[in-house]
């Protein structure tokens, strides 16, 4: 990985290219992030930088002590990025959206919207039974669980359960536009999460 940053999903909109084509984009407020810690092989066994995003109003003593060393306020969200080269970073540095450029490919990680405990129709898209001719009241039930011989339900059977609220990474998205003054990155397409949720942007693993 060459670079990464923490951001907040603002929402979706559309922009127009030179030919007048509408491009759906997700707007992300990326940074400014503070380098809260630099990890090296000598001290931690691996190389990485830890970024902090959004000031924390009330910090615990350990949190306040960590950021007091580098002379900045405590941050609410922390994330490690294992970069190929950390020589250009030191604790207290600021990382902004302009580390990326329009046209670059990135991977965006976020927590999807939670839908709670859901049935198979909503969770997996199962078909419902017809609503007439005495079918009810089992229109949305999952149906047969299996035959008598195994006397059990096979693994990976699509069942009701928790839907959403899981970490998802969307790969190989293209940056359509960057506003360095406002720390905004417009990414083509949709990214996981609801408005205001925290996302992580990094170079794509797929060239």
> What is the mean predicted confidence (pLDDT) over 85-101?
88
φ/ψ of residue 161, rounded to 5:
165, -170
Mean predicted confidence (pLDDT) in 161-182: 94
With 80 as the cut, is the pLDDT of residue 24 above it?
A: yes
Which are the contacts of 207, defined by CB distance < 8 A and separation ≥ 6? 105
pLDDT tens sequence across 43-61: 989 999 999 999 888 888 8
8 and 100 Cβ atoms separated by less than 8 Å: no
Q: CA end-to-end span of the chain, whole Å?
A: 12
Predicted TM-score (pTM) of this structure: 0.86
150/13: higher pLDDT: 13
The per-residue pLDDT for 197 is 95
Cα–Cα dist 28/190, whole Å: 11
Q: What is the mean pLDDT of residues 17-34?
A: 92
Q: How many CB atoms lie within 10 A of CB 179?
A: 14
Q: Could you tell me if 106 and 204 are in contact, meaning their C-beta atoms sit under 8 angstroms apart?
A: yes
- What domains are there in the chain, each with its CATH number? 4-116+167-203 (2.40.30.10), 117-164 (no CATH)
């Amino acid at each position: 990985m060459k670079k990464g940053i923490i951001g907040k999903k603002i929402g979706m909109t559309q922009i127009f290219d030179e030919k007048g084509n509408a491009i759906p984009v997700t707007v992300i407020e990326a940074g400014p992030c503070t380098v809260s810690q630099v990890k090296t092989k000598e001290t931690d066994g691996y190389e990485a930088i830890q970024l902090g995003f959004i000031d924390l109003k009330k910090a615990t003593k350990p949190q306040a002590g960590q950021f007091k060393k580098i002379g900045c306020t405590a941050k609410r969200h922390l994330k490690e990025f294992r970069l190929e080269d950390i020589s250009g970073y030191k604790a207290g540095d600021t990382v902004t959206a302009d580390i990326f450029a329009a046209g670059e490919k990135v991977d965006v990680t976020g927590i999807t919207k939670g839908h709670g405990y859901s049935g198979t129709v909503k969770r997996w898209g199962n078909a419902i039974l017809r609503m007439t001719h005495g079918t009810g009241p089992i229109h949305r039930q999952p149906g047969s669980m299996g035959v008598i011989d195994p006397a059990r339900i096979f693994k990976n059977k699509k069942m009701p359960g928790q839907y959403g609220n899981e970490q998802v990474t969307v790969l190989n998205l293209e940056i359509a536009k960057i506003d360095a003054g406002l720390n905004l990155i417009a990414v083509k397409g949709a990214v996981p999460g609801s408005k205001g949720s925290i996302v992580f942007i990094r170079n794509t693993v797929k060239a």
